[in-house]
Structure 1
Amino acid sequence: MDAPVVGLTTYRQQAAWGVWNTRADLLPTEYAAAVEVAGGVPVLLPPVGSPGAAARVVATIDALVVSGGADVDPGQYGAAPHERTAGWHPERDAWELALLTAAEAAGLPVLGICRGMQLMAVHAGGTLDQHTPDLVGHETHSPGGDAYGTVEVATEPGSRLAALVGAEVEVSCHHHQSVATHPGFTAVARAADGTLEAMEAAGERYCLAVQWHPETRVEIGLMAGLVAAARDHSDSRG
């Protein structure tokens, strides 16, 4: 059986490696490694501005991961920037929103990770809380720098998420923003402080998003579920 192809959205920013220090399209290796371990073939999807490019890409992949990254432009959900909101990338926002539109039209399986969950909520017409510590009174979800926060998450019984990861799961988080409203999605996991940690769409299509970073813990459940859905999608297209 051919392994399904899973597209992973990427950063586009200044980066340094070897003798180079230049703009680059990149993504932490853990994402691609998690797809491969789950039985998929990872393909990186850097931002593209050409009309129709998103639909063309979606037609050639079997599933989509909207990866973590910078804050979403508050203008995308009609808000003024919070003083701690910074560094958004309009070209990436536009590309990933176009990919989500094309994925929905094609019935493509989708997994959102961290920023990916936030962008999926915005794509659906939802809004974000721009600085979660203002709501919960602590920095556990993003301790600072390159450190991940450790958060205990309770999942909703009967949800797709619970079937994949269990009733409770310890996760690695790195986010200072979170989803406030999410039309069309059901809340399926929360942290003890009430922060929404996962949401999923109703129906047979795998359309799930988590606020944490499963790729950092070799957490096979979510990615295995995505790859299984990708294989089914590939089979349905022949």
Structure 2
Amino acid sequence: MKLRDRAHVTFIAVSQRSDNIESRAETRDALDQRLTGWVRALGALPLPVPNALGDKLAVWLKTLSPGAVLLSGGNDIGGCPERDRTETELLDHAERAGLPVLGICRGMQMLAHHAGGILLPVSGHAGTRHPLLGDAVASGEMPAEVNSFHNWGLAACPQDYAVLATAPDGSIEAMRHGKRRWEGWMWHPEREAPFGETELARARQLLIGD
């Protein structure tokens, strides 16, 4: 019996950042405790994914059988090959298994990269807040203002995705796949205090189906 069926709860596979601690000669996987709290606020439980499983990641996924995937923030794509490979395999698995996916900040960039999209450096998006624009914002499906902690953005909307929201400078801030339950947000909902109910409701619908 699958783990999520035994516990009657959705377990979400959450990717982790990779931190190189030179003073200790260690490379550590890390997950912000706020993101763990945010997943719990959805009514789900996180399964942090190790970045050093290599060819055993497929066994990990088959054994634990998560019901959804969340790609977290941190690390630029290309800066940590092990994490890039882990998240690529997570997306490949989600595609085969029909699992929903949410990409946060770097996670949205990874969704675009996986779809063959091009990333470009952006300015004025690190350590600030800005409004969101778009029909999903006007309808109340997405927040009117978000935090911003990224230095990379999308050159264009990737194939098979649709833009849900933009920043005032026109850069893409949220997108959704046309056929799969895959969505990307360029901001960090877990860094809001308290957590935004708009994002929680949307993520529950996306990842859990509630």
Shorter-chain TM-score category? Answer: 0.7 to 0.9
In structure 2, give the amino acid aligned to 1:72.
I
SS in structure 1 opposite 2:203?
Answer: helix
Shift of 1:198: 0.7
In structure 1, give the amino acid aligned to 2:118.
T
Q: Contact 1:38–1:220 at 8 Å: present in 2 too?
A: no
User: Structure 2: any 5+ residue segments left out of the alignment?
Assistant: 1-6
Task: State the partner residue of 1:80.
Answer: none
After the TM superposition, which segments of 4 or more aligned residues of structure 1 sit over 3 Å from their partners? 161-164, 220-233
Shift of 1:56: 4.5
Q: Contact 1:7–1:65 at 8 Å: present in 2 too?
A: yes
SS in structure 2 opposite 1:154?
Answer: coil
Q: Deviations over 1:69-99 (max 9, x none)?
A: 11112xxxxxxxxxxxxxx101101110111
Shift of 1:48: 3.6
Task: State the partner residue of 2:3.
Answer: none
Question: What is the TM-score when the length of structure 2 is the normalising length?
Answer: 0.84
Q: Deviations over 1:89-148 (max 9, x none)?
A: 01101110111011011110100000000110010111111x212xxxxx2x11xxxxx3
Shift of 1:179: 1.1
Q: Contact 2:160–2:177 at 8 Å: present in 1 too?
A: yes
Task: State the partner residue of 1:84.
Answer: none
Residues 1:8 and 2:14 are matched in the alignment:
yes
Q: Contact 2:18–2:75 at 8 Å: present in 1 too?
A: no
Shift of 1:185: 0.8
Q: Which residue, 61, 81, 84 being the options, matches 1:90?
A: 81
* CA distance in 1 between partners of 2:103 and 2:183 (Å): 6
Number of aligned pairs? 199
Q: Contact 2:108–2:186 at 8 Å: present in 1 too?
A: yes
Task: State the partner residue of 1:51.
Answer: 55
User: Structure 1: any 5+ residue segments left out of the alignment?
Assistant: 74-87, 134-138, 143-147, 234-238
In structure 2, give the amino acid aligned to 1:210.
W
In structure 2, give the amino acid aligned to 1:150.
R
Question: What is the TM-score when the length of structure 1 is the normalising length?
Answer: 0.75
Q: Contact 1:63–1:226 at 8 Å: present in 2 too?
A: no
In structure 1, give the amino acid aligned to 2:40.
E
Q: Which residue, 199, 203, 208 being the options, matches 1:226?
A: 203
* CA distance in 1 between partners of 2:87 and 2:31 (Å): 15
In structure 1, give the amino acid aligned to 2:122.
T
Q: Are the structure 2 counterparts of residues 152 and 54 from structure 1 closer, same or farther at C-alpha, using a change threshold of 3 Å?
A: farther
* CA distance in 1 between partners of 2:56 and 2:42 (Å): 30
Question: Taking every aligned residue pair, what percent have the same amino acid on both sides?
Answer: 29
Give the CA RMSD over aligned residues.
2.6
SS in structure 1 opposite 2:162?
Answer: strand
Q: Contact 1:35–1:227 at 8 Å: present in 2 too?
A: no
Shift of 1:25: 1.3
SS in structure 2 opposite 1:14?
Answer: strand
Q: Deviations over 1:128-185 (max 9, x none)?
A: 11x212xxxxx2x11xxxxx3101111334x9x95632xx521011001101131111
Moved more, 89-98 or 40-49: 40-49
Q: Deviations over 1:162-214 (max 9, x none)?
A: 5632xx521011001101131111111101111110110123x4210011111
| Pairing of 1:82-231 with structure 2 (within 5 A) | 88-129=79-120, 131-133=121-123, 139=124, 141-142=125-126, 148-157=127-136, 164-165=141-142, 168-181=143-156, 182-203=158-179, 205-217=180-192, 218-231=195-208
